[in-house]
Chains A and B, each alone.
Chain A
């Protein structure tokens, strides 16, 4: 099976190499082969303030994006699940940012987030000049929130479609029965829709979390980790170490910590969302 060979060479081997190389001094291009150095890379990593800052930024991004994006996506899915004329047009428009590459979206919003950019002009217009705005991406306290808003704008349509597919598996008779029993809109949501979305819910949670923790392209293009490392993330740091500084071993150690982070978070999520019956 060619697929099996390819998966071994380009998935299993690199994953295992990540473990092995993190215990060596391997460099991307080096005349000597890698030498075993024990846990040196990890000692160095855990005493590196930039690593802790990157980890904090990554967790911050995830902690804000995961609930906001999944909730907003559900609201959108409920809105386009209505049987009204022209609903497909809304679905298409909400989905447009998803087919726009994150790279394109990042350069576009970099332009919009400038001090004299479109975002500030629009804020002024809707607030009658009360809000003056800031240089969003060059301000350490607004850079990450600005990237969060943009990231949600770009990806929320993807999860809207997944919620929608989940909504459409709920039998219509359940809603009819609830209505006959005099259930309010909120009660119908709480007792029919929400339990019916159980499987979709855990899938959405896990995929948004993994995507959020892997934050890289936006950072690379919009802020390069700045200002003052306020947007540096774990993946960004691993690319800087492994590619720009050619320190494959150190980057493997960072990737390994990232791997453990992703794995722990998804296991905890699956534990919390496990079937209780």
Chain B
């Protein structure tokens, strides 16, 4: 496992400014542009095809396949497929569920994981080294190795509900919102990112505050966290993407249509007779929010991915 270093601006540090002689010089010719453009077309054509097809009736999608019209919004263009999507599946509900689940997972994740990292990085307590090592060890275990025991286990967990004004215990988290959120709040990687970022903040700052009588929580809230914006951005992005894209887990753990998130919603379109136009409209619909976020915060997105793998 490589160690991870984020610099103060949240992007991995470049050891020096690019100078002449770096690889890639000499590709900046017409041929270089041509090759890069062909590659760009290779990556973009399915996505363009998806958006364009979502605007066309099914028979036109198939008629256009044999020409470049497949990639052009021409002919009988309308939003009818989108109307069909909202008529056939509770798409608003799926979107609202996914937004709620992702936002809560991100917000609670930032809070819980930064607090843990703060305790690991700033406070002295017995077993600290062991806990840190245990957290790092979890990084190499993929979710798929324990998803099925977790499913069994989640079906046994207790939950406090109010019934007729009386608090009451129920058992079994399957088919709920909490089963889609709570297991994904604590995240070893987020803790580790915060932990390495906190260690770049001079300890002198909080020692001075301690002397002035500030509590640990006060130092966390007023000194360390305000200085950790870039780490928070990275954690937010790296928590949001998997939360929005969740598929395996809600597929198993959530049966009720009104609790399901967007990705599981695609199943409703795989009927005997697939309406491809509507399917492409739904696919576009659940891609647009993430794409819009990515295009607005490109540097942060790419920086956060990069910071997940760099050894400083």
Residues of A within 8 A of B (CB): 1-4, 6-7, 9-11, 13-15, 17-18, 21, 26, 28-29, 76, 78-84, 89-105, 107-109, 111-112, 116-118, 121, 124-125, 153, 157-158, 161-162, 164-173, 175-176, 178-179, 185, 188-189, 193, 199-200, 202-204, 206-207, 210-211, 213-214, 216-217, 220-221, 235, 238-239, 241-243, 248, 251-252, 254-256, 258-259, 262-263, 266
Nearest-Cβ distance from residue B137 to partner chain A, whole angstroms: 10
Q: Bound state CA distance, A7 and B138, in angstroms?
A: 9
Q: Bound state CA distance, A220 and B151, in angstroms?
A: 18
**B298 interface hit (Cβ, 8 Å):** yes
Residues B112 and A2 in contact, CB atoms below 8 Å apart:
yes
B273-312 vs A, CB cutoff 8 Å, 1 = contact: the mask equals 0001001100100110011001100100110011111111
Closest A residue by C-beta to B306: A165
Residues A108 and B245 in contact, CB atoms below 8 Å apart:
no
Residues A93 and B28 in contact, CB atoms below 8 Å apart:
no
| Chain B residues positioned under 8 Å from A104 (CB to CB) | 50, 266, 283, 286-287
Using known A-B contacts A107-B283, A248-B149, determine if residue A203 contacts B247 with beta carbons closer than 8 Å. Answer: no
Residues A79 and B27 in contact, CB atoms below 8 Å apart:
yes
Residues A172 and B18 in contact, CB atoms below 8 Å apart:
yes
For chain B residues 14-52, which have a beta carbon within 8 Å of chain A? 14-28, 32-33, 35-37, 39-40, 42-44, 46-47, 49-50
| Chain B residues positioned under 8 Å from A92 (CB to CB) | 295, 298
* Sampled A-B contacts (20; CB under 8 Å): A81-B22, A83-B22, A90-B36, A90-B37, A99-B294, A107-B279, A108-B283, A112-B46, A161-B305, A162-B305, A166-B310, A169-B311, A173-B16, A175-B19, A188-B23, A238-B147, A248-B149, A252-B148, A255-B145, A262-B145
Give me 18 other A-B pairs in contact (C-beta within 8 A), A84-B27, A121-B65 excluded: A10-B183, A10-B186, A11-B186, A17-B149, A18-B149, A81-B23, A95-B301, A101-B287, A108-B49, A118-B49, A121-B66, A166-B311, A169-B12, A171-B15, A252-B148, A254-B148, A258-B144, A258-B145
Residues A96 and B24 in contact, CB atoms below 8 Å apart:
no
B226-266 vs A, CB cutoff 8 Å, 1 = contact: the mask equals 00000000000000010011011001100000000001001
Using known A-B contacts A10-B182, A189-B23, A239-B148, determine if residue A203 contacts B65 with beta carbons closer than 8 Å. Answer: no
Residues A172 and B17 in contact, CB atoms below 8 Å apart:
yes
| Chain A residues positioned under 8 Å from B145 (CB to CB) | 15, 18, 255-256, 258-259, 262
Residues A28 and B144 in contact, CB atoms below 8 Å apart:
no
Nearest-Cβ distance from residue A187 to partner chain B, whole angstroms: 12
Residues B112 and A6 in contact, CB atoms below 8 Å apart:
yes
B46-74 vs A, CB cutoff 8 Å, 1 = contact: the mask equals 11011000000000001001100010000
Total CB contacts across the A-B interface at under 8 A: 311
**B97 interface hit (Cβ, 8 Å):** no
| Chain B residues positioned under 8 Å from A167 (CB to CB) | 23
| Chain A residues positioned under 8 Å from B135 (CB to CB) | 7
Residues B15 and A169 in contact, CB atoms below 8 Å apart:
yes
Residues B146 and A14 in contact, CB atoms below 8 Å apart:
yes
**B188 interface hit (Cβ, 8 Å):** yes
**B119 interface hit (Cβ, 8 Å):** yes
Using known A-B contacts A3-B191, A103-B263, determine if residue A83 contacts B18 with beta carbons closer than 8 Å. Answer: yes
Residues B266 and A107 in contact, CB atoms below 8 Å apart:
yes
Nearest-Cβ distance from residue B272 to partner chain A, whole angstroms: 14
Q: Bound state CA distance, A17 and B306, in angstroms?
A: 34
**B2 interface hit (Cβ, 8 Å):** yes
Q: Name the contact of A7 in the complex, choosing from B46, B149, B186, B290 (C-beta under 8 A).
A: B186
Residues B116 and A14 in contact, CB atoms below 8 Å apart:
no
Determine chain A's interface SS by DSSP, over half rule: helix
Residues B309 and A217 in contact, CB atoms below 8 Å apart:
no
| Chain B residues positioned under 8 Å from A118 (CB to CB) | 49, 65, 70
| Chain A residues positioned under 8 Å from B185 (CB to CB) | 3, 6
Nearest-Cβ distance from residue B120 to partner chain A, whole angstroms: 9
**B115 interface hit (Cβ, 8 Å):** yes
Residues B148 and A238 in contact, CB atoms below 8 Å apart:
yes
**B155 interface hit (Cβ, 8 Å):** yes
**B1 interface hit (Cβ, 8 Å):** yes
**B141 interface hit (Cβ, 8 Å):** yes
Nearest-Cβ distance from residue B144 to partner chain A, whole angstroms: 5
Using known A-B contacts A3-B186, A10-B150, determine if residue A84 contacts B15 with beta carbons closer than 8 Å. Answer: no
Q: Bound state CA distance, A220 and B280, in angstroms?
A: 18
Nearest-Cβ distance from residue B29 to partner chain A, whole angstroms: 9
Q: Name the contact of B301 in the complex, choosing from A84, A99, A112, A204 (C-beta under 8 A).
A: A99
- Shortest 6 CB-CB distances between A and B: which pairs? A82-B24, A6-B186, A3-B116, A199-B311, A242-B148, A172-B19
Nearest-Cβ distance from residue A254 to partner chain B, whole angstroms: 8
| Chain B residues positioned under 8 Å from A172 (CB to CB) | 16-22
| Chain A residues positioned under 8 Å from B17 (CB to CB) | 172
Residues A176 and B20 in contact, CB atoms below 8 Å apart:
yes
Nearest-Cβ distance from residue B275 to partner chain A, whole angstroms: 11
Nearest-Cβ distance from residue B167 to partner chain A, whole angstroms: 21
| Chain B residues positioned under 8 Å from A176 (CB to CB) | 19-21
| Chain A residues positioned under 8 Å from B144 (CB to CB) | 214, 216, 235, 238, 255, 258
Nearest-Cβ distance from residue B119 to partner chain A, whole angstroms: 6
| Chain B residues positioned under 8 Å from A81 (CB to CB) | 18, 22-24
Q: Name the contact of B40 in the complex, choosing from A17, A94, A243 (C-beta under 8 A).
A: A94
Q: Bound state CA distance, A102 and B183, in angstroms?
A: 21
**B210 interface hit (Cβ, 8 Å):** no
